[in-house]
């Protein structure tokens, strides 16, 4: 997630790092968090760490049990599905604008991302593959001039991101399906074919439905509402 450049408050530094650790399951669902350990880890005081935890709590990523402590929330599939729904419908519109506004610079950006993601696929580098996946979709919004829309989606999609990351950790789920869909979407964009791009974007967003059970079966303790 990218936010405005320049000075960031200490609470944001803690929030951003904790959010990333939650997405990548470095902090696993159900894990108890020690405020003191987090203060030492980030070399920050108690106030910015607590402010970061409050922000994470508002997003449903951590919760506190009185007299017990603060814990990482399990993945809320309702929130994940809502985020997928928003992204599906917004991206299917934005990708049309991307087709119309594509420049040579935009083409170079897409080609660079696709090449890097293909390299990550070959190297079986899950984290890099996942990050370039996000960059590809962000580029669609950026080239369409919808930076703020992407930032809004990013602010509310952490449960979806957590699901998508776990998808890369399930044996038997082929990453090449995602790669192929990205290549097809890019071809439609470069052909300036908004109808085809829209169709492919919708199909790509529905991938979560077809792989939902494989992910939840592999990590049953990581999810609520199973």
Q: 10 Å Cβ neighbour count for 157?
A: 23
* Residue 196 pLDDT > 70: yes
Who's near 155: CB < 8 A, 6+ residues apart? 1
Q: Is the pLDDT of residue 4 over 50?
A: no
Q: Which of 173, 160, 161, 159 is nearest to 218 (CA)?
A: 173
- Check whether 1 has a pLDDT greater than 70: no
pLDDT for residue 2 is more than 80? no
How many CB atoms neighbour CB 42 within 10 A?
Answer: 16
b/e code 81-115 from CB counts within 10 Å (16+ = b): bebbebbbebbbebbbbbbeebeeebeebbeebbe
Q: pLDDT grade, residue 171 (50/70/90)?
A: confident
Q: Stretch 109-125: mean pLDDT, rounded?
A: 97
| Ranges of each domain in the chain | 10-72, 77-222
CATH tag for 77-222 (out of 3.30.750.210, 1.20.120.530, 3.30.420.40, 3.40.50.1240): 1.20.120.530
Helix, strand or coil, per DSSP, at residue 30: coil
Joined together, the tokens standing for residue 14 give 């803690």
Residues 6+ away with beta carbon under 8 Å from 30: 71, 72, 74, 221, 222
Say if residue 28's pLDDT is above 90.
yes
Phi, psi for 167 (deg, rounded to 5): -60, -35
Confidence of residue 226 (pLDDT cuts 50, 70, 90): low
Q: Is the pLDDT of residue 133 over 50?
A: yes
pLDDT digits (tens, 9 = 90+) for 31-76: 999 988 998 888 888 898 999 999 999 999 999 999 899 999 999 9
pTM of structure: 0.89
Count CB-CB contacts under 10 A for residue 203: 14
> Given this structure, which CATH class describes domain 10-72?
mainly alpha
Give percent of the chain above pLDDT 90: 79
Give the C-alpha distances (Å, rounded to integers) separating 172 from 75, 132, 161, 168, 218. 21, 21, 20, 10, 11
């Amino acid at each position: 997630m990218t936010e405005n450049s320049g000075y960031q408050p200490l609470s944001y530094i803690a929030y951003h790092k904790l959010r990333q650790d939650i997405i990548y399951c470095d902090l696993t669902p159900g894990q108890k968090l020690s405020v003191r350990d987090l203060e030492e880890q980030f070399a920050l005081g108690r106030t910015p760490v607590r402010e970061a935890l409050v922000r994470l709590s508002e997003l449903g990523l951590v919760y506190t049990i009185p007299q017990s402590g603060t814990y990482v929330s399990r993945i809320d599939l309702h929130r994940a599905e809502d985020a997928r729904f928003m992204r599906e419908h917004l991206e299917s519109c934005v990708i049309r604008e991307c087709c119309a506004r594509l420049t040579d610079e935009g083409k170079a950006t897409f080609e660079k991302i696709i090449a890097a993601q293909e390299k990550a696929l070959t190297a079986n580098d899950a984290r890099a593959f996942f990050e370039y996946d996000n960059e590809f979709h962000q580029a669609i919004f950026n080239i369409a001039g919808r930076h703020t829309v992407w930032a809004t989606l990013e602010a509310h999609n952490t449960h979806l991101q957590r699901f998508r990351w776990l998808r890369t950790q399930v044996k038997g789920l082929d990453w090449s399906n995602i790669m192929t869909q990205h290549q097809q979407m890019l071809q439609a964009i470069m052909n300036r074919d908004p109808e085809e791009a829209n169709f492919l974007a919708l199909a790509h967003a529905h991938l979560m439905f077809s792989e939902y059970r494989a992910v939840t079966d592999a990590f049953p303790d990581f999810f609520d509402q199973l």
